[in-house]
Structure 1
Amino acid sequence: MLERKVLDHMRRWKSRARGREALLIEGARRVGKSTAVEQFAKNEYRSSIIIDFSRLPRDVRSIFEDQRDDLDTFFMLLSAYYRTPLHTRESLIVFDEVQLYPKAREMIKHLVADGRYDFMETGSLISIKRHIKDIVIPSEERKLEMDPLDFEEFCWAMGEKLLSDLIRNSFETSRQLPDALHKRAMRLWREYLLVGGMPQAVNEYVQSRDFNEVDYIKRGIIDLYLNDMGKLANGDAGKLRSIFSQIPGQLSKHEKKFTLASIDREARSRSYDSAFFWLEDARLTNICRNATDPTVGLGLSEDNASFKCYMADTGLLVSQVFADRRSTPSEVYRDILFDRLSLNEGMLVENAVAQQLRANGRRLFFYSRYARGDSQRTMEIDFLIVRAHDDANLRARVSPVEVKSTKRYGTSLLDKFERTFGDRLGRSYVLHPRQVASSGQRTLLPLYFAFCL
């Protein structure tokens, strides 16, 4: 059983909500929502009932349809059907894949008001029209997004929890790891780039260390997503699949902003807005938007027409890179692992950093400005985050983050950015393959530190 951080968020919800609201776990399919909720229910409650709406029995459906106005009978019949006693304030009822039966989600308002039990829901594509049509969305519902495993969780799965704890301590104290541990962490990071954070793929790699089997699993997940696009996209399936297939090519360019012309020279952003929303809502992509006037409220200056589109899981990105063949041979994975294959590793590394930031609950922003004929005003910064700044009494400041996949690199763009916006900035970060180092308000961190930001 994989250890997941989302369980800590669930425990905090239980303690804070005390039955006054339900918790909706949103995330991509196969990200581990149902498994995490089952584990939480087993550990935290005296009893639980998990209703899987992807295979809703006729008898259970009739309970929802016929007894929604008589909660005493509703609970009594559920308890009898699932052979599970329910205990006031000690039992949890879970609506699994609730998007498949929206009427159950609508009942949450009345179930929470009743107050006898706790309620959780899991779902994907919760916001698309067909899943909310003709229902009143309950205000007594708290949402929690669940992402693929981040690098720290991957370390836990690989039996390296002590190393991940040491990485966190090193980040907080700005101390270097011993060289042997740094090399081990960099090796784990490269494995993470290839395997990614989808639980089924991670479990397979932990057990077999077989990249061929891992690739088989990842391709199955990609096929599942493509099938969902065909079934649920309401006429946008072609656009969705075009965008999805273009992500590796877009990220492999030096200029990583997504250009619709690569899909269709006549394409207009307005006609593709719904497709990008669908992919982001399904948690298949992470959209990074341009904050044109970097201040603590990064969203105040976001330019929705200028964005980068990352895949939500870097392991899936690797399999998508080689989508022109039926499978990716293990030899290709090993060549990438040992840096023997000519591949734009920068796109994998930047995608993985985006994945870590997103797993930490951050919206993704970057900075880009092009001034024709004025090189001093032309610059692009990979990511912008907001952090408490130790030299400003821990007040929030904008921190630029640059990602470097090689040991030899330049920082001229970061230098310009710091000169231009210095009074607004906190500490700057460069993520690179080398050890920890600091210079003034700039900190250089190994790539595997990204989950700490």
Structure 2
Amino acid sequence: MKRIYIEQLIKWNQTEDIRPVMLTGAKGVGKTYLAYDFAKAFFKNILYLNFEHDPKAVDLFSDKDPGKLSKRLSEHFYLTALDSDDNFNEDRLLILDEISYCPAALHILSSLQQEGAFPRIIAISSSPLKKEELKPYYHIPIYPMQFSEFLTAIGSEWYIETIIAHYNSNKKIPDIVHKELLNLHNLYLQIGGMPSIINEYLNFNNISNIPEQHSHLMGTYRHYLSLLSSDSESLKMNQVLDCLPLQLLKSNKKFQYNLIRKGTTHAMYKEAIQSLSNQNYIIPCYKMTTKDLSNIDKILEEDRLNVNEITSFKLYLSDAGLLHSLLLKEIKTTFNKVARKALLENYIATTLKVNGYPIFFWESESTAKIDFLLSNKGEIIPLEIFCDTNTRSKSISVLKQKIDFPYSIKISERNFEYSNNVKYVPYYAAFCI
């Protein structure tokens, strides 16, 4: 399964940036697979330690002296000292999995790399790391596979260039191809972007057991939360996860604490929500006030947005496929329009997150709502999502009275088009945004 992140690893390997790489992301997004896939293509000697499952690996890093540590690791892997005749050490990659289980390793890798025996190091963490902990690293956050990666995985990679070309030109794709891509996208929404579950589909060419696989993955998440958090915090995080389908099945998808239980407040759950966000299990989408719209880039640049104090927000799961299976348990029949809108919003939220956009929405004091706001080079681009080809909406004109923007984006079943300062984008092309 070719991942888009492989290009970043190749760039790192070809430059003089000798910082260790840090791959972060939720369990199941394919961090270890990505590291090995890259390693097999560019290195002859792959050395691997897993701190979560191997206590001896933690013991190896008990020495804080990088020179002594380098020697201990060389002995552990039965390596001779710096082999230079055949540049053995230059063709060597050290992969350290779940490094958060060994804090000593987290803080010594840069010094270890400078010793020379391990000139290239990739560390992996499913646990959230602080900004200061990431400073010594070439950080690559990993997310579930986008639709474009899904197309590659199922052998339909040739569609990608076609989609990108038509997205850039705003010219319609032939109807037969358009319908094929809508069907493939609908399949993606059911399977999601978790590599192991996509692989399950490829092995059996059937989606009947996909909900069971999603349920198993959610169980893994819950178990992991119980290991990393206190009982009370773990309970709160699981309660947030449990109520997400009901939150998104409302016509107004803003998070309501009374769906957890009566009497709950923002103060009681804000840390649990932040922790789930830090671990990439959920994606918060915060309401942006009208007065902040004209200054959004400066607010983000100066990090003046205190998300812990924002009480109006929506929450999405990190993978649309997971939400699809959870919604099936609630709906048990063909999705209605509200459920489909929830699924499509979740899909767009995950896609925008992968593409590096801050996730915000806007609504007026009346009924006007914009699903997402994109901040692009000082300009606001409003983005709306529709469940079919009907894209009529008054919300854009309401927003236009508040702030100027060059154009808006409407995502729907409609083919590509650009008219009246509206860029029409079919669901399957959202990765191009």
TM-score (norm 2): 0.89
2:367 corresponds to 1:386: no
What is the deviation of 1:301?
Answer: 5.9
Residue type at the aligned position of 2:357:
R
Judging changes above 3 Å, is the alpha-carbon distance between structure 1 residues 259 and 180 closer, same or farther for their aligned structure 2 residues?
A: same
What is the deviation of 1:272?
Answer: 1.0
Report the equivalent of 1:55: 53
The whole-number CA distance in structure 2 between the counterparts of 1:315 and 1:54 is 27
Report the equivalent of 1:274: 271
Judging changes above 3 Å, is the alpha-carbon distance between structure 1 residues 182 and 141 closer, same or farther for their aligned structure 2 residues?
A: same
Counterpart selection for 2:186 from 180, 190, 193: 190
Report the equivalent of 2:203: 207
Counterpart selection for 2:121 from 119, 122, 126: 119
Deviations 1:131-159 (A, max 9, x none): x9xxx946422321100011111111121
Deviations 1:406-453 (A, max 9, x none): 22343101121123212xx13210001111122232111111111111
2:212 corresponds to 1:230: no
Counterparts of residues 141-180 of structure 1 (less than 5 Å): 141-180=137-176
The whole-number CA distance in structure 2 between the counterparts of 1:126 and 1:306 is 24
Report the equivalent of 1:446: 426
The whole-number CA distance in structure 2 between the counterparts of 1:324 and 1:401 is 28
The whole-number CA distance in structure 2 between the counterparts of 1:76 and 1:194 is 46
Judging changes above 3 Å, is the alpha-carbon distance between structure 1 residues 188 and 302 closer, same or farther for their aligned structure 2 residues?
A: farther
Report the equivalent of 2:14: 15
Residue type at the aligned position of 2:258:
A
Counterparts of residues 44-443 of structure 1 (less than 5 Å): 44-56=42-54, 58=56, 60-66=57-63, 68-69=65-66, 70-80=68-78, 87-116=88-117, 117-127=119-129, 137=133, 139-234=135-230, 235-292=232-289, 293-295=292-294, 296-297=296-297, 299=300, 304-323=310-329, 344-370=339-365, 375=366, 379-387=368-376, 396-422=378-404, 425-443=405-423
**SS at 1:180 equivalent:** helix
The whole-number CA distance in structure 1 between the counterparts of 2:420 and 2:306 is 29
**SS at 1:99 equivalent:** helix
Is the Cα contact below 8 Å between 1:94 and 1:119 reproduced in 2?
Answer: yes
How many residues in Structure 1 have an aligned counterpart in Structure 2?
418
The whole-number CA distance in structure 2 between the counterparts of 1:144 and 1:421 is 34
What is the deviation of 1:18?
Answer: 3.1
**SS at 1:211 equivalent:** coil
Could you list the runs of 5+ residues in structure 2 that have no partner in the other structure? Answer: none
Deviations 1:2-43 (A, max 9, x none): 111111121222334531x11110111011100100111111
Judging changes above 3 Å, is the alpha-carbon distance between structure 1 residues 178 and 101 closer, same or farther for their aligned structure 2 residues?
A: same
What is the deviation of 1:177?
Answer: 0.4
The whole-number CA distance in structure 2 between the counterparts of 1:217 and 1:72 is 41
What is the deviation of 1:122?
Answer: 0.6
The whole-number CA distance in structure 2 between the counterparts of 1:302 and 1:427 is 29
The whole-number CA distance in structure 2 between the counterparts of 1:408 and 1:33 is 39
What is the deviation of 1:72?
Answer: 4.7
The whole-number CA distance in structure 2 between the counterparts of 1:248 and 1:72 is 49
What is the deviation of 1:357?
Answer: 0.8
TM-score (norm 1): 0.85
Cα RMSD (Å): 2.6
What is the deviation of 1:46?
Answer: 3.4
Is the Cα contact below 8 Å between 2:21 and 2:140 reproduced in 1?
Answer: yes
Counterpart selection for 2:22 from 21, 24, 33: 24
Judging changes above 3 Å, is the alpha-carbon distance between structure 1 residues 452 and 302 closer, same or farther for their aligned structure 2 residues?
A: farther
What is the deviation of 1:161?
Answer: 1.0
The whole-number CA distance in structure 2 between the counterparts of 1:80 and 1:142 is 28
Deviations 1:252-294 (A, max 9, x none): 1121111112213322212211101111111111111122222
What is the deviation of 1:226?
Answer: 1.5
Identity percentage of aligned residues: 23
2:5 corresponds to 1:33: no
The whole-number CA distance in structure 2 between the counterparts of 1:419 and 1:190 is 36
Could you list the runs of 5+ residues in structure 1 that have no partner in the other structure? Answer: 388-394
Deviations 1:206-225 (A, max 9, x none): 23232222222111101111
Is the Cα contact below 8 Å between 1:365 and 1:384 reproduced in 2?
Answer: yes
The whole-number CA distance in structure 1 between the counterparts of 2:316 and 2:183 is 23
Judging changes above 3 Å, is the alpha-carbon distance between structure 1 residues 144 and 138 closer, same or farther for their aligned structure 2 residues?
A: closer
Please identify, of 228-237 and 84-93, the stretch whose mean Cα deviation from structure 2 is larger: 84-93
The whole-number CA distance in structure 1 between the counterparts of 2:24 and 2:205 is 30
The whole-number CA distance in structure 1 between the counterparts of 2:410 and 2:134 is 43
Judging changes above 3 Å, is the alpha-carbon distance between structure 1 residues 426 and 192 closer, same or farther for their aligned structure 2 residues?
A: same
Is the Cα contact below 8 Å between 2:386 and 2:412 reproduced in 1?
Answer: yes
The whole-number CA distance in structure 1 between the counterparts of 2:218 and 2:70 is 43
The whole-number CA distance in structure 2 between the counterparts of 1:363 and 1:138 is 20
Deviations 1:22-76 (A, max 9, x none): 1110111011100100111111223221111122253x44432247451452342
Judging changes above 3 Å, is the alpha-carbon distance between structure 1 residues 413 and 147 closer, same or farther for their aligned structure 2 residues?
A: same
**SS at 2:406 equivalent:** coil
Is the Cα contact below 8 Å between 1:108 and 1:138 reproduced in 2?
Answer: no
Please identify, of 221-230 and 181-190, the stretch whose mean Cα deviation from structure 2 is larger: 221-230
What is the deviation of 1:109?
Answer: 3.3
Residue type at the aligned position of 2:102:
Y
